[in-house]
Structure 1
């Protein structure tokens, strides 16, 4: 059982959480004060009685995880981090929502120590929490003691539960029986537009019972009920726990109590003064009373003892498990062989094939060399070709495998994979068709924002997937993904470029990589004799140089269209042109190169043609107004791939003729 704190000090602590939220939002004249006020009691009980953390070592491997999925209530988290002793001084709370502060409008994990994940897009935090809990199970199954008894505590609001991503992730959590996950539902029945009854009338508890969760109902302002619910949740051994906490937004405010206005706007000086008076609060703004400091110092002492006990168990485990301890060190470091690319090049598949098949063959080598690689597909592994051979599937009660079955839940898959990456040690991958990257785009975007090493494997990457038709044929998705900052999008043309894609993804420690792989077979690309495979990693590189001097025409193509460029080059050179072929393996990698390299590949004053089976307009911005941009600026169609290639001009004959007419 947790420590029994002095009731007066506990109440004063809860009121401190409320007043810090009111003061910070009012000073910023922006923010959400009501929800932190309504959740103060729950946060207090979690942080002072159950959450295991060390503010001096925010990344301690044995810590519990806390996720505030309703990230608009960020002042709740910032207040707890400040009180708990993390590197978040009062000056940062006073600088809430301001430029370059550690207290942005929504919590950001790469900015603020103690923030486990970036939340704000509703529902994502629930998915991240599931990912944390799953990662803890995966790590415990591999290494035992260091990750035993790691719990995840999360809070979600009405908006989180209405967003579909939370349902997808919660369904998976129930299926896997993640009993180390405790999710509080802040049932305050208020959204921006008014009462939730405007659009929401389901019984969330019954829904989570159907998901396979252990469900409890409590008064979210009753500390005794909160603690009892947490005790029961901790004792539950088969299911994740869902605690429906009836709360009141802006709890304690005389007129803002239970109002939609308290959700997303400052309370105002008069209401704050009245609230503080009702709470018996007689301190200046941004004050933490000495009694509250003393209470959290007690909690710090308890956490120090817990950390010391964990350290002792960990030291004993390392002594008794020397080989596994070394494996754990490598796992946590996400160790990748320095010569991974060279090893992959030596093991390239010989036959012509679809890049999805080639990728799977290469993936097996990566998996042997990098145990941290764990992932799966949204029920599409037979099509995306992403199973790790020789490894079991992860299932309820057995987390030793490396193949995750996410079910038909792309949105949830992305959020769960992000949580796994954030947990540490795991390099997760998630796979689906490229067209369904739209379903998981918010998660992909957040992986880039949070600077997490996730691998997003998208297959069936063009209209040439064939008869499935325009609902499944991506045309705008290439540039939709390329527009996401810090995401590297790669579209390999053959086995060599697919190896480069894996090497690049495994080396990117501070950002995700997205693969676009073909369903159809692709021919091998003939490259010049002096070609250096490392040049592929620079994003754009010369595949075939012009014969007889400087080029007067440059053909730039990506993925399955690169062979069209090499085929057209041969014919154009016979007609007297000097043609260079450039592979657009990754535009993002190319942008990172120095200006001299970029100019050497795409020199100014030379006519250029882009060839890609997607939207053509963005290429004009890359290659210049006088370029020819061959692509598909409409939705696809249902027909065999060879017919589609003819109809959309994606043949060597058609490409060559179009270029000749343009010239």
Structure 2
């Protein structure tokens, strides 16, 4: 499709000067002459135009609605169970007990959160038939492929795996369209460092309150041999700052399962899962009540010995197990620490003040937060 910017303007058609600025009254008058527009009032739309559009939209809408109802009525009679499933999918009704088999892990085992996420995805494919997934040419690294499913293609529309190619923005836009249509649970995966390519589509998803899920693997500096070009240093702070985008950075495999449950249940916002490349130990504090804890954004994963600790230690993702170890060393030196896992700052911020006070009591003035990444510029000035 070829277009002409400023089409119809006598002197600005096809020129950059027609972009981003009004034509001006003189040029607008010349454009009106081009279109043989005889009305004097600015921004005037004749009543006949309103009437035509209203009637056309109403008639077309009624026609398509009646056609759909007729076809779907016939489908219900022929395939009652499939029709019920389709209605549930369109209404975003999850199957009863769908989350009961989410993977759980014992403390002491070790697995990367990207791999744990892959196990969740393959479990979800068995209980959510409307799952529609893809990756920007990184399915092997992101662990996003459904192993037992075919690939979606022009010759097979039943496949649940989409191969987007190296096209993060196109993937993000396609995910938005799928979510707007409704009826499908959709997500896309890529390296966290190239989330920037997808950012405009993510921002639109947040504005439109679309329940899209983004699988971001290879978090922070532990990305392997690719080096600085593939290390997402500023990305976490940047995406945390985006309104109505929930960012969850699991500390271990159990938190990853809980994060996926939250993402699937989301109805009015997109969710970004930030996952590790390297193996992480499963922590004792995630073996019980992990979904309830992660759903609150932050929680005490390893409590202090006393009611009021000497110091608070806080981290998210792959650094949580390090501060749990630091807590043990401090204990040997007579310093009593409370360890807080903060997988989601936005979810924690939404909690009641009394809960936030319970996790981060103001009486404890000594606090240390560990983050392998950039903080928001200027926040240190407010400390």
TM-score where L is the length of structure 2: 0.90
Q: 1:272 to 1:379 in 2, by over 3 A?
A: closer
Q: Secondary structure of the residue that 1:356 maps to in structure 2?
A: helix
CA deviation vs aligned residue, 1:143-185 (integer Å, no higher than 9, x gap) = xxxxxxxxxxxxxxxxxxxxxxxxxxxxxxxxxxxxxxxxxx3
Q: Is the 8 A contact 2:254 2:290 kept in 1?
A: no
1:263 Cα deviation from its structure 2 partner: 3.2
Structure 1 residues 302 and 497, CA, compared in 2 at 3 Å: closer, same or farther?
A: closer
> Corresponding residue for 2:368?
609
Alpha-carbon deviation of 1:342? 4.8
Contact 2:144–2:189 at 8 Å: present in 1 too?
Answer: yes
Alpha-carbon offset, residue 465 of structure 1: 2.4
* Structure 2 residues without counterparts, runs of 5 or longer: none
Q: Check the 8 A contact 1:341/1:500 in 2, yes or no.
A: no
Match 2:39 to one of 253, 257, 282: 282
Match of 1:246 in 2: none
Pair 1:262 & 2:78 matched: no
Q: What is the correspondence of 1:252-651 to structure 2 with a 5 Å cutoff?
A: 253-276=9-32, 279-282=36-39, 284-285=41-42, 286-290=44-48, 293-294=51-52, 297=55, 300-337=58-95, 340-344=98-102, 347-350=103-106, 351-527=109-285, 533-606=291-364, 607-615=366-374, 617-618=375-376, 621=379, 625=383
Classify the secondary structure of the residue corresponding to 1:187.
coil
* 2:309 partner SS: coil
Deviates more, 1:434-443 or 1:304-313: 304-313
The total of aligned residue pairs comes to 378
> By how many angstroms is 1:458 displaced?
0.8
Contact 2:218 2:276 survives alignment (8 Å): yes
User: Contact 1:355–1:494 (CA<8 Å) still a contact in 2?
Assistant: yes
Residue segments in structure 1 that go unaligned for 5+ positions in a row: 1-184, 191-248, 626-663
1:434 shift after superposition = 1.0
CA 333–309 in structure 1, closer or farther in 2 if over 3 Å, else same: closer
Cα 1:529/1:452, change in 2 over 3 Å? closer
The question of whether the paired residues in 1 share the 8 Å contact of 2:313 and 2:337 is answered with yes
Deviation at 1:545, TM superposition (A): 0.9
Per-residue CA shift, 1:32-55, capped at 9, x if unaligned?
A: xxxxxxxxxxxxxxxxxxxxxxxx
- The two structures, once aligned, show a CA RMSD in angstroms of 2.6
Q: Deviations over 1:340-379 (max 9, x none)?
A: 55542xx324542111111111222222222232111111
Higher RCO structure, 1 or 2 (CA under 8 Å, sep 6+): 2
Partner of 1:224: none
- Cα offset, 1:538, TM superposition: 0.3
Tell me how far 1:621 sits from its aligned partner. Answer: 4.0
**Greater C-alpha Rg:** 1
The change in CA–CA distance for 1:496 and 1:430 in structure 2 (over 3 A counts) is: same
Aligned to 1:235: none
State the distance in 1 between where 2:325 and 2:54 align.
Answer: 71
Report matched runs for 1:190-229 at 5 Å: 190=5
Q: TM-score, normalised by structure 1?
A: 0.53
